[in-house]
Amino acid sequence: MQNNNYADADEKLEVFNCKNKAKIDIYVEPNYLESQSQFGNYAFSYKVYMENVGDSMAQVIARHWIITDAHNQVHEIKGLGVVGEQPILQIGQKYEYSSTTVLPTTTGTMKGTYLCITESGDLFAADIPEFLLALPRVLH
């Protein structure tokens, strides 16, 4: 697969036309990292699980994360691939990776989108469902 310029891919993320039923299911499992946190800098890891449940091979080519802290301050991260890779998922194949983020508040949320491309060159978005980042026992 050929890598596209991310700026071009980002523009296409808003308007895409996928002729097949490409689909990647995504589940995220967050975890507070107490040993790497201090007041005003709260570290969280998150493990992303992906599964290609569509009818075509798919490659993750770019990511767009939206991170919101408890003060409604939004930080967006855009870039190529995930953790330095642009994984290719065959039909039924699973992929997982771990990463981290730091918040200035004890709670926040993350959500986003992966821009993917099929073997036939169709672009599609795989939504990353919103998930909560929170210190244990902060929320009731």
- Is the distance from CB of 29 to CB of 46 less than 8 angstroms? yes
* Among candidate residues 110, 4, 98, 8, the one with its CA nearest the CA of residue 59: 4
- Is the distance from CB of 42 to CB of 69 less than 8 angstroms? no
The tokens 């990353």 sit on which residue? 128
Q: What is the Cα–Cα distance from 16 to 125, expressed in whole angstroms?
A: 8
Q: How many helices (H) and strands (E) does the chain have?
A: 1, 8
User: Average pLDDT, stretch 4-14?
Assistant: 44
Query: How many CB atoms within 10 Å of residue 55?
Result: 12
Query: Is 0.85 topped by the overall pTM?
Result: no
Model confidence pLDDT, tens digit, residues 100-129: 999 999 999 999 999 999 999 999 999 999
- Is the distance from CB of 71 to CB of 105 less than 8 angstroms? yes
* Among candidate residues 98, 96, 104, the one with its CA nearest the CA of residue 135: 104
Per-residue model confidence (pLDDT) at position 21: 79
User: Average pLDDT, stretch 4-29?
Assistant: 62
Q: What are phi and psi of 94, to 5 degrees?
A: -110, 155
